Chains A and B, each alone.
Chain A
């Protein structure tokens, strides 16, 4: 029993990696260069511009030519942009693998943001309680995640209790959650958070890269991967997505599993919301508009089957990265922004067609194999 690379990366995911590398190479080759000011770290640890002194003794600022795509700043930006969608996509993977769909993730994100923001504002510098730092931040985080879980409980509870298709239930709650967020804030933006909270989430490396979203994304991916592929609970998610009736005949409590996946999806949206609170320092009820589509697109491009029973946490994260790379590529290549939705939509459909083709080939192989 040897653990080969094949075991670690299943076929689907290595395919996605290839797509990412090809896309990256393509963007690097065609993006051209940009002139960026050159910095250096001084003896006292501060970053300062580099100047060149010419023969006449005139100091001119130094510039470097950098590839528009392949440079640290752009990659960091790409990673940050990917993290929010990727975190939510891991939650969505649970739902989609179980054979369901959650259209309300964007609204859960907004409601959780707003609820957390109201609490953080209360304990912020301008709030009635004054800036009480850590305790206030923790309270804000707890309310943000708690609100998300409550949303997930509502989704899962309605789906299980009413036996209504998740598409319908989450289409309804998508409007309801955002409506609540709007009513709670009267449509106003909420800011003024404790400084320590914002500083914590905006921790930067010496190069000025924001690492928190990236670290959280990695953590969420690892947790999602462990639950889906190593825990009994995850196995049950695949089982009910693959064949709900057979799972019931095997003694799996379908209702419990379904409730669980909608809680996971909502919790992931809550985590993304919490990050955004610290990162952007404010929230409005209009946040996360249209996220559900990006998240579902990431999951589908990442190999999760809307028919249920197939997909992985790593896959959907790679899917989110591909979507984000295309978005970023559109900017870098100077393509008109208005085309971006058309391109993304086409990519999603192409991914599904490719996936269908792939499973059709697999089925044919199986049938020929069973023929003898």
Chain B
């Protein structure tokens, strides 16, 4: 490589509680290039972007900017070095105007501290014009669409003289037309000599925009090279390239029983539509898809948490009124939500109180909680799920992620649910607890429960499920039987890659 790289990563490592998000990642980004960063959910691509932009700091390794080591410890420090990030999360104050947000760090003032509104709007207009954005600077940021807000973020980045811009999944919530606009803007930025690090898992997009590509997998660097020298099919193989198949779950040996759950034409405006699925007793069915494909939303709608959902949900052939959690509970449905701390548990209560939370009607007589029965049941299920806690009277907030997840699951077992809708069973759970949760789900299926599992970890679904449904952009796009299921096949369905079909 002749010129000094714009950015060079040397042995970057980052550890989060329970996971090694990045493990010795090294590669370089050429000046003025559009560098794609791709990998599965959780491969570490966003983490790397955030380290570059000063939002996170690396535990080990060095980042070099034009050959000089840098270690920005805040987004502000990174910005001073000419590095900015455009993220998915809200980066602005929604209650302030575009102009105020753009100039927030350096508001033009007149004597006495009065904001110079004319100068403010003029400066904002200049910044927006710089990137060819047609936006009224007086509008409140809260009233902007995601695409428009991205424009403001980019304008802010360019306006502060950024030479490197990290874009984290910029197209994930844009419409086709907006994506097209984004591409034009990206090309315009490249023409100005700005270096882009483009994080995405949409292959077609990367192949249309980028010149270089880096693949990350499980926090490790796999491959970097010119995008012309590879193909989408090859990239998919590099992204997954694992041979992690656990032993065959025992529930597969039994034929599935009667149909417990049937969903017909489930639809929720703006979230998903035309969902048909069927779940039998003793079956574990996977639901795969990229982030934002509508998987969690579908589970929540089945469980009665989406008041706008239409369609039919039948449990044991009986139709369930939509939009009622109580009816879903009464029919024997249970939902283990994705965000266990926010949706699954009351962290300040004890294990016992959390386990009995959904089962209170069964555990009380004339409104009195039968305490000995409650204690027995909590003890029983905590024991069955091998929860490691000082006692069932321990506060849930103090348990590890894996044990919290078991308590959240025990809540539904205590309510004796037959149909379990499980969203990301092992998110934020360490390896040891994962190895315990899989056999548990297998055991529950063997007892005749029907389980629908959403997971972003494909090996998890491949190991557990009898069949795997795939969602993309709010629709079911395919079903893969266990025998035919490979990560590559699923990934192609999830990302909508039509190439390599013949192979």
Given the known A-B contacts A251-B329, A366-B398, are A242 and B349 also in contact in the complex, defined by CB atoms under 8 Å?
yes
Would you call B343 and A249 a contact (CB within 8 A)? yes
Question: Does B367 lie at the interface of the complex (its beta carbon under 8 Å from any beta carbon of A)?
Answer: yes
Determine if B360 and A248 form an interchain contact, defined as CB atoms under 8 angstroms apart: no
Partner of B367, one of A232, A250, A369: A232
Query: Could you tell me the distance between the alpha carbons of A242 and B347 in the complex, rounded to whole angstroms?
Result: 7
What residues on A are CB-neighbors of B358 within 8 Å?
A: 250-251
Contact of B346 among A231, A309, A363, A365 (CB under 8 A): A309
Contact A239 B369 (CB under 8 A): no
For residue A245, CB closer than 8 A to chain B, the reply is yes
Closest to B335 in A: A249
Does B189 make an interface contact (CB < 8 A)? no
| Residues A246 and B397 in contact, CB atoms below 8 Å apart | no
User: Is there an interface contact between B411 and A231, defined as CB atoms closer than 8 Å?
Assistant: no
Q: How far is the CA of A225 from the CA of B119 in the complex (A)?
A: 62
Q: How far is the CA of A250 from the CA of B400 in the complex (A)?
A: 21
- In the bound complex, do residue B305 and residue A231 qualify as a contact, i.e. CB atoms below 8 Å apart? no
A residues less than 8 Å from B356 (CB atoms): 235
Q: Is the CB of B326 within 8 A of A253?
A: yes
A238→B329 CA distance, assembly (Å): 21
Contacts of B357 in A (CB 8 A): 235, 239, 246-247, 250, 252
Q: Could you tell me if A232 and B360 are in contact, using CB atoms closer than 8 angstroms?
A: yes
Q: Does A41 contact B (CB under 8 A)?
A: no
Given contacts A231-B369, A232-B360, A242-B346, contact A248 B325 (CB under 8 A): yes
Contact A230 B368 (CB under 8 A): yes
Bound-complex Cα distance A248 to B395 (A)? 20
Determine whether B311 belongs to the interface, using a CB cutoff of 8 Å to chain A. Answer: no
Q: Which B residues touch A251, using CB under 8 A?
A: 325-326, 328-329, 358
A231–B344 CB distance below 8 A: no
Closest to B304 in A: A251
Q: Check A249–B367 contact: CB distance below 8 A.
A: no
The answer to whether A246 and B348 have CB atoms under 8 Å apart is no
Residue of B with least CB distance to A372: B400
Bound-state CA distance A84–B113 (Å) is 52
The reply to whether A249 and B360 form a contact with Cβ atoms under 8 Å apart is no
- Contact mask for chain A residues 110-141; partner B; CB cutoff 8 A; 1 contact, 0 none: 00000000000000000000000000000000
Docked complex Cα distance between A240 and B470 (Å) = 35
Known A231-B367, A231-B368, A232-B368; judge A246-B398 contact (CB<8 A): no
Q: Is the interface of B mostly helix, strand, loop or mixed?
A: mixed
Q: How far is the CA of A310 from the CA of B343 in the complex (A)?
A: 19
Contact of B363 with A by CB under 8 A: yes
The verdict on A236 contacting chain B, using a C-beta distance below 8 Å, is yes
* Cβ of A162 under 8 Å from chain B: no
Cβ-based interface call for B256 (8 A): no
Cα A367 to Cα B397 with chains together (Å): 9
A232-B360, A239-B349 known; A246+B325 contact, CB < 8 A: no
Does A17 touch B at the CB level, under 8 Å? no
Chain B residues within 8 Å of A235, by CB = 353, 356-357, 360, 369
A233–B345 alpha-carbon span in the complex (Å)? 18
Would you call B347 and A230 a contact (CB within 8 A)?
Answer: no
Give A346-371 as 1s and 0s: 1 = Cβ < 8 Å from B's Cβ atoms. Answer: 00000000000000000101110110
- Max chain B C-beta neighbours (<10 A), residue from A233, A247, A249: A249
Interface presence of A243 (CB below 8 A): yes
B367: nearest residue on chain A (CB-CB)? Answer: A231
A249–B305 CB distance below 8 A:
yes
In the bound complex, CA of A366 to CA of B329 (Å): 33
Complex contact A232–B369 (CB within 8 A): yes
- What residues of A have a CB within 8 angstroms of the CB of B335 in the complex? 249
B395 adjacent to A366 (CB under 8 Å):
yes
Q: Least Cβ distance of B417 to chain A in Å?
A: 11
Are A238 and B342 neighbours in the complex by a CB distance under 8 Å? no
Task: Look across to chain B and name the residue whose beta carbon is closest to the beta carbon of A363.
Answer: B397
Q: How many Å lie between the Cα of A233 and that of B360 in the bound state?
A: 9
- Tell which of A230, A245, A246, A252 touches B369, judged by Cβ atoms closer than 8 Å: A230
Complex: how many Å from CA A77 to CA B371? Answer: 39
Contacts of A369 in B (CB 8 A): 398
Contact A370 B398 (CB under 8 A): yes
Whether A239 lies near B346 (C-beta < 8 A) is yes
Which parts of B84-130 form the interface with A (CB within 8 Å)? Answer: none
Confirm or deny: B364 has a beta carbon within 8 angstroms of a beta carbon on chain A: yes
Render A216-234 as a binary contact track against B, CB cut-off 8 A, 1 for contact: 0000000000000011110
Contact B367 A246 (CB under 8 A): no
- CB distance A243 to B305 under 8 Å? no
Name the residue among A233, A246, A363 with the largest chain B CB count within 10 angstroms.
A246
Q: Contact at A243–B346, with CB atoms within 8 Å?
A: yes
B485 CB contacts on chain A under 8 angstroms: none
Distance in angstroms between the alpha carbons of A361 and B147 in the assembled complex:
44
Check: B320 CB closer than 8 A to any chain A CB: no
* Cβ distance B349 to chain A, nearest Cβ, rounded Å: 6
Q: Is B64 on the interface with A (CB-CB < 8 A)?
A: no
Given contacts A365-B398, A366-B395, list 17 more A-B pairs with CB under 8 A: A230-B371, A232-B360, A232-B367, A232-B368, A236-B360, A238-B346, A239-B346, A242-B348, A243-B342, A245-B342, A248-B305, A249-B337, A249-B344, A252-B360, A309-B349, A370-B398, A370-B399
Q: List 15 A-B contacts (CB under 8 A).
A: A232-B361, A236-B360, A238-B346, A239-B349, A239-B353, A242-B346, A242-B349, A243-B346, A249-B325, A249-B344, A250-B357, A250-B358, A365-B398, A366-B398, A367-B398
**Chain B residues packing against A (C-beta within 8 Å):** 303, 305, 325-326, 328-329, 335, 337, 342-349, 353, 356-358, 360-361, 363-364, 367-369, 371, 395, 397-400, 411
Please report A residues at the B interface, Cβ cutoff 8 Å: 230-233, 235-236, 238-239, 242-243, 245-253, 309-310, 363, 365-367, 369-370
Task: List 8 tightest A-B contacts by C-beta distance, closest first.
Answer: A366-B398, A242-B346, A232-B364, A251-B329, A250-B358, A232-B360, A243-B346, A242-B348
